[in-house]
Structure 1
Amino acid sequence: MTMQEFFAMGGYAFYVWTSYGLTLIVLLANIIIPVLQRRQLLRSLTLKQKRQ
């Protein structure tokens, strides 16, 4: 099996690589979104505490 055959995936390359790409995007979103939400929550709590 050559590298070209591997990346062609027997004619299904578009579907296979699209699936891998979408899976990677979802996994990254599952890591990044909670981190961003935590930062925003901590920022808002800090501001709320300073006001009181």
Structure 2
Amino acid sequence: MTPAFSSWPAFFAMGGYAFYVWLAVACTLLALGGLVLHTLLQRRWLLADIRKRQSRERRVRAAKSQKAAGEAAGDQP
């Protein structure tokens, strides 16, 4: 098996098409990096939203139980 390029400078020159090849590589890596960043941020936002909803549900349940306990205590003389 013979290598496609004889040296590192020849590899980076890409047979005269280096600008197009490395621009395509850079665009691809930029898009993938953006996708990873978006996914991580979306995960963080989703977990924060879940925490807020759970906290609200706990507060609502506590308020309902306090109201029920107050009504039960108010019914007794």
Q: TM-score normalized by structure 1?
A: 0.74
Which structure is richer in relative contact order (CA contacts within 8 A, separation 6 or more)?
A: 1
Unaligned 5+ runs, structure 1: none
Which structure has the highest helix share of the two?
1
Give the TM-score of the pair, scaled to structure 2. 0.55
Aligned length: 52
Q: Which of the residues 8, 11, 28 maps onto 1:23?
A: 28
Larger-Rg structure: 2
**Unaligned stretches of 5+ in structure 2?**
1-5, 58-77
Stretches (4+) displaced over 3 A:
none
